Amino acid sequence: MTEVKLERIGKSYGAVEAVQEFDLTIEDGEFLVLLGPSGCGKSTTLRMIAGLESITTGDLTISGTRMNDVDPKDRGVAMVFQNYALYPHKTVFDNMAMALKLQKVPVEEIRDRVGRTAEMLGLTEYLERKPAALSGGQRQRVAIGRAIVRTPKVFLFDEPLSNLDAKLRVKMRMELQELHDSLGVTSIYVTHDQIEAMTLADRIVIMNGGVVAQVGSPREVYDSPADEFVAGFIGSPSMNFIDLRRGAGGGWSSTEGGLRFESLPFSLGDRSEIRLGIRPEHVVITPHAETGANGGSFEAEVRLAELLGADALLNLDIEGCRLTARVGGTGHSRAGDRVQATLPTPLLHAFDIPTGKALPRLVS
Amino acid sequence: MTRNRPRIGLYTLAIIASVISFLPIIWLILTSIKTTAGIYAWPPQYLPAPVTFQNYIDIFTKSPELLLYVLNSLIVGLGTTIVSLSLGGMAGYALSRLGMRRAGVLMVFILAVSMFPPVSLLPSLFQTFLNLGLLNTYTGLIIAHTGLFLPFSVWMLASYFATLPKEIEEAARMDGMGFFRIFWSIVIPLSWPGFVATGLIVFIHSWNEFPLALVLMTQNAMRTAPVGISLYPGEYAFPWETISTATVIAIVPILVITAIFQKQIVGGLTAGTGK
C-alpha cells in the first residue's frame, strides 16, 4: 500500500516562494498528473518528492514514513527525466542495472531483472549499445526501463515525452498508459501538455504560480473548472471569455455589445459584472434562419474560418463581441457568412471578475 | 564575390599572426642546423648552407646533461599535471556542482591568488622550502608549480563541469551513488576532453616555467630544461648552436603533444559556448 502524502509542502528560494502549501494525498496505484505552465512549481514539487530538492516547509510521507530528510535512493522512488539523463558512457544494460549494482543485488538477479524489463520494453537487442546509438524513443524507453528495474513504490515522470516528436509522443503516451495498467505502480507525472494530462491521469492537479488551482479528474477539470485560470488552461483552443454587465432591468449584456441574457443560471449575488465562459466546441452554429437575440442565440458574422483538418475554427463577430467556435471540418461556414450562434446555457461558465473563482451554478 | 572579401582579410590576419609567432621557432630550428660559421656569418645566412646535424650529435655527446634536464622537466610537468588535475577536479566539481554557499566568492578568491607575480613569492617560498628540505627535490617544484597552476585548473574544470547536464548526476543520485562516486564514475568519464585540455595547458606551462625552477632547483642535476639551457652561455662565449639545438629538443615533446591533442585543447577551451 503506497500512499504519497504531501502536507502543506512549501519550497522557497530566498524570498521567492516556488511552491506554497501543497496539500494532497496520492492514492495507491493512482496516476496523478501535475499540470501547469512553465514556472508554476510542478517540477519543483516533483523534485521535492524525489529528494532532489529540499523541502522548506511541510511534511512528505510515503507509505506512512516521513521522507523529508531521507536520501533519494532510500525513498523507494524512481524518476524518468525529460532529457533521459542516461549515462552516455555506459551500455543500455549498465544504465538499467546501475541502481541494482549499487544495491549489491546478486549478478544473476540483475541479469534476470534487466532482461525481463528489456523484453517488456522491446530493448533486448539494444542492451549492449551505448545510448548515443539509440533513437530518442528508444532512449526514453531505456530511461523508463531503468526506473522499472528498481521496482519502485512510486514512479516520478518529469515531462518524459517533451523531447520526442509529435508522432512518437502519442505512441509513447499509449505505452506509458499500458505500462501503468500492467504494473499498477503509483505514478506522479509532470507535464505542461494538457493532452498528456487528460489522457493519462486518474486525477489532474493544475498548478499556477506555485499554488494548486484545482485537483480533479480530467472530466471534472474540463467540465467544472474551479477558476478562470483552469478554464482557460484546459481545452484547446481555450475557452471564450466575455465580460457581462448587469443592465438596469436585471438582464445581462456584454460590455462589448452583442450578447444579452435575460437571466443566467448562476448564483451571482449582487455582482454588477461577471465574466462568462464558453468553450469553442460548445458554441452551436446553425445557418442563418431567425434573427435577433433569442434565448442564447445570436446572429453572428464569420470573420475568419481556419480549417484544422477534422475541425475548423470560426472566429465570430456578434455585434462587436468576438467568439471562437469549433465546428466540423466539412461544409463549415466561410468568412463573411452570417450564421446563428447558440450558447447553450447548461454549458456556460461564470467567473467572479476580481478573484477569477467560478461562480456556483444554481440548482434547478 | 563581395562575400569573400572579409574571408581574405581574416586569412591575412591569421597568416600574419602565425608568422609572427612562428618566426622565432623557425629561426631557432634553422639555427640549430647551421654550422657555427653560418650562424655568425655576415650578411646573415637565412637558409642554412650547408645543412648540418653536427650540433645534434655534439649536444648528445658533449653535453649529455640536456637529457637529464628534459627528464627533470618531464617528471615535474607530469607530477604537476596529475596533482593539479586531481585537486582542481575535485575542487572544481565541488564549487560548480555541489551547491556550496558562496561558491562564486571562493572562485574569485582562487583567481585572485593567481594574480600574484610568481617572482614576488620567491623569497618566502625559497626560505620555506629551505627549512622544509624541499629545495632540489621534484616534490618541491611540483608543489610550487601546482600552487601556480591550480587556480587555472579549478576554473577551467569547474566551467567544464558546468556544461554537463545536471540530470545525469541527479539520475545517479536516484540510483544511489554518493557524491564521490558520481564524480568518479560519471563526471570524470564525461569530462575527459576538459581534463585533457586542462592537463595539457598545465603541463606546457610547468614545462616552460622559469623563475621558480631556477631558484628552487639549484643543483645542476635537478635543473629543468629551460633553466638548464639558459645557463649554457658561459662568461665569455655564447654558444648559439648549442642553445638553439637544446631548445629545439626541449620543445619537441610539447609540439608533438599539442599536435596530437589540439582538437581536445580547442574543444575543452570552448566547451559550453554552443550546443
Q: Which residues of A touch B189 (CB under 8 A)?
A: 89
Minimal Cβ distance to B176: which of A50, A84, A99: A99
Which CATH fold would you assign to the domain A4-232?
A: Rossmann fold (3.40.50)
A291 vs B73, residue with greater confidence: B73
What amino acid occupies position A315?
N
Mean pLDDT across A90-98: 95
Q: Which positions 185-204 of B are in contact with A (Cβ < 8 Å)?
A: 186, 189-190
Cell representation of residue A120: 517488456
Q: Which positions 96-125 of A are in contact with B (Cβ < 8 Å)?
A: 98-99, 102-103
Structure confidence at residue B268 as a pLDDT band (50, 70, 90): low
* Record: contact B174-A99, CB cut-off 8 A: yes
Q: How many CB pairs under 8 A join A and B?
A: 50
Q: How do the domains of chain A map onto residue ranges?
A: 4-232, 240-351
Structure confidence at residue B275 as a pLDDT band (50, 70, 90): very low
According to the model, what pLDDT value does residue B273 have? 45
B100 vs B4, residue with greater confidence: B100
* Record: contact A52-B174, CB cut-off 8 A: yes
- Does A86 touch chain B if contact means CB atoms closer than 8 Å? yes
Structure confidence at residue B20 as a pLDDT band (50, 70, 90): very high
pLDDT tens sequence across A12-53: 998 899 999 999 999 999 999 999 999 899 999 999 999 999
Q: Over chain B, what is the mean pLDDT?
A: 88
Q: Which positions 134-153 of A are in contact with B (Cβ < 8 Å)?
A: 146
Among A91-95, A129-133, B260-264, B267-271, which is the least confidently predicted range? B267-271
ipTM attached to this prediction: 0.84
What amino acid occupies position A283?
V
* Record: contact A52-B189, CB cut-off 8 A: no
A125: closest CA of chain B, how far (Å): 24
Minimal Cβ distance to B176: which of A83, A89, A103: A103
Q: Which residues of B touch A88 (CB under 8 A)?
A: 168, 190
Q: Which positions 24-63 of B are in contact with A (Cβ < 8 Å)?
A: none
Arch. (CATH architecture) of B64-274? Orthogonal Bundle (1.10)
Which CATH fold would you assign to the domain A240-351?
A: OB fold (Dihydrolipoamide Acetyltransferase, E2P) (2.40.50)
pLDDT tens sequence across A51-62: 999 999 999 999
Domain with CATH 1.10.3720.10 in chain B: 64-274
Minimal Cβ distance to A73: which of B168, B176, B190: B176
According to the model, what pLDDT value does residue A289 have? 63
Query: SS in 3 state form for chain B?
Result: CCCHHHHHHHHHHHHHHHHHHHHHHHHHHHHHCCCHHHHHCCCCCCCCCCCCCHHHHHHHHHCCHHHHHHHHHHHHHHHHHHHHHHHHHHHHHHHHHCCCCCHHHHHHHHHHHCCCCHHHHHHHHHHHHHHHCCCCCHHHHHHHHHHHHHHHHHHHHHHHHCCCCHHHHHHHHHHCCCHHHHHHHHHHHHCHHHHHHHHHHHHHHHHHCCHHHHHHCCCHHHCCHHHHHHCCCCCCCCCHHHHHHHHHHHHHHHHHHHHHHHHHHHHHHCCCCCC
- Least CA distance to A100: which residue of chain B? B175
pTM over 0.90: no
Minimal Cβ distance to A102: which of B168, B175, B190: B175
Q: For chain B, how far is it from start to end, CA to CA, in angstroms?
A: 31
Q: Which positions 109-138 of B are in contact with A (Cβ < 8 Å)?
A: none
A182 vs B99, residue with greater confidence: A182
Cell representation of residue B97: 556542482
Cell representation of residue B37: 660559421
